């Protein structure tokens, strides 16, 4: 395959797909997890009780814990950087990979995301509202993970990030023009393409046409929903399974990754989905200078890799 310049579905962003430069997956190696045996502030005995905001567990103790971020960049008392940040500790055990959790344990993590999204989207005293709730995970050193106890984070603010806003505006324009939901069309098209990874009647996963990251993957519910609280029981199970499968495949390459769930509360044009962005590629001169990203792993090849069992 020759190099090819591709435009994002909705954003005015470009990616240069250059598979000729690709390294083979087995040549990639990165130490993503170090010092598995150490203890940390997210271990059950060390968690400060006053930081706990929610927990899922049983008589034996918690299984998933939500705590306030002790060092937040935004707070509800700062008018100049307004918002709130929480940490979701995904399991009591230290040094276990998220993708090694059982499907039912991953379901509990997703349920905690639902509970925190519901709690944080309620109106606040003084009529303020957190309009944007981002749930994300940094896994591995290159993805920015600073603590090696499986956790994800919630970042909620009243500002909608420009890229997210631009995507929504483009989706609105698409709807006005074609009278159809842009994301439903993207899903339909990608599920019939070489970029398709997996799908059933509840979820669909594919590598996006203009993937900016090696092995980037997007996970959509088949049904249009606007935030994670609307996922039903069966959809939670379907997401837990596909998330586990894809992240296990990534771990087999030892690649750090981030995943993101952007949620704008009460916007009818936003389709809820999960973006998995591995951090294998290094953005250098072209990316930083021109804004055009070079990706040497074609999404068609990445999808093939994910499909291989």
Q: Which residues are catalytic?
A: 151
Closest residue by Cα to residue 253 from 9, 7, 27, 15: 27
Sole binder of Zn ion in the list 22, 28, 33, 43 (CB under 5 A): 43
Q: Is residue 195 at the binding interface for Zn ion, with CB under 5 A as the rule? A: no
- Length of the chain, please? 309
Minimum distance, C-beta of residue 38 to Zn ion, in the bound complex (Å) = 8
d(CA 217, CA 231): 19
Scanning 14-22, 36-44, 168-176, 235-243 for contacts with Zn ion by CB under 5 A, the matching segment is 36-44
Q: Is 43 annotated as a binding residue?
A: yes
What is the smallest separation between the CB atom of 145 and Zn ion, expressed in angstroms? 12
Whole-angstrom Cα Rg for the chain? 19
40 annotated ligand-binding residue = yes
Residue 151 touches Zn ion, criterion: CB under 5 A: no
State yes or no: residue 98 binds Zn ion (CB under 5 A). Answer: no
Please report whether residue 33 would count as binding Zn ion according to CB under 5 A. Answer: no
Is residue 40 within the footprint of Zn ion (CB under 5 A)?
yes
Can you tell me which of 149, 151, 195, 269 binds Zn ion, judged by CB under 5 A?
A: 149
Rounded to whole angstroms, how far apart are CA atoms 176 and 168?
12
Cα–Cα distance between 78 and 76 in angstroms, integer? Answer: 6
- 42 sits near Zn ion (criterion: CB under 5 A): yes
Neighbours of 188 (CB within 10 A): 12
**Minimal distance in Å, beta carbon 148 to Zn ion?**
7
Q: Is 155 in the site for Zn ion (CB under 5 A)?
A: no
Q: Report the C-alpha gap between 74 and 96 in whole angstroms.
A: 29
Q: Which residues contact 290 (CB under 8 A, 6 or more apart)?
A: none
Nearest approach in angstroms of CB 40 to Zn ion is 4
44 or 72: whose CB is closer to Zn ion? 44
Indicate whether 103 belongs to the interface with Zn ion (CB under 5 A): no
User: Would you list which residues are annotated within the binding site for Zn(2+)?
Assistant: 40, 43, 94, 149
**Residue numbers at the binding site for Zn ion (CB under 5 A):** 40, 42-43, 94, 149
User: Would you list which residues are annotated within the binding site?
Assistant: 40, 43, 94, 149
């Amino acid at each position: 395959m020759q190099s090819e310049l591709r435009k994002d579905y909705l954003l005015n962003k470009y990616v240069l797909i250059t598979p000729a430069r690709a390294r083979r997956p087995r040549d990639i190696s990165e130490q993503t997890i170090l010092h598995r045996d150490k203890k940390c502030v997210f271990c059950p005995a060390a968690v400060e009780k006053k930081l706990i905001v929610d927990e899922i567990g049983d008589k034996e103790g918690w299984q998933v814990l939500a705590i306030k971020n002790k060092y937040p960049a935004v707070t509800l008392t700062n008018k100049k950087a307004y918002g709130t940040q929480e940490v979701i500790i995904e399991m009591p055990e230290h040094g276990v990979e998220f993708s090694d959790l059982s499907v039912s344990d991953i379901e509990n993590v997703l349920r905690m995301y639902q509970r925190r999204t519901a709690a944080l989207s309620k109106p606040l005293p003084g009529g303020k509202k957190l309009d944007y709730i981002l749930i994300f995970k940094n896994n591995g050193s290159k993805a920015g993970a600073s603590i090696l106890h499986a956790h994800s984070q919630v970042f909620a603010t009243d500002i909608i990030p420009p890229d997210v806003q631009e995507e929504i505006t483009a989706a609105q324009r698409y709807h006005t023009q074609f009278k159809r939901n842009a994301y439903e069309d993207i899903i339909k098209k990608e599920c019939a393409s070489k970029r398709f990874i997996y799908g059933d009647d509840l979820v669909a996963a594919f590598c996006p046409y203009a993937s900016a990251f090696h092995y980037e993957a997007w996970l959509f519910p088949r049904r249009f929903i606007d935030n994670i609280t609307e996922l039903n029981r069966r959809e939670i199970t379907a997401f837990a399974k596909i998330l586990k499968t894809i992240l296990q495949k990534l771990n087999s390459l030892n690649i750090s990754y981030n995943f993101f769930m952007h949620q704008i509360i009460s916007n009818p044009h936003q389709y809820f989905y999960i973006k998995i962005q591995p951090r294998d590629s290094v953005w250098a001169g072209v990316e930083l200078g021109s804004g055009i990203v070079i990706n040497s792993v074609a999404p068609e090849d990445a999808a093939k890799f994910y499909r291989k069992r």
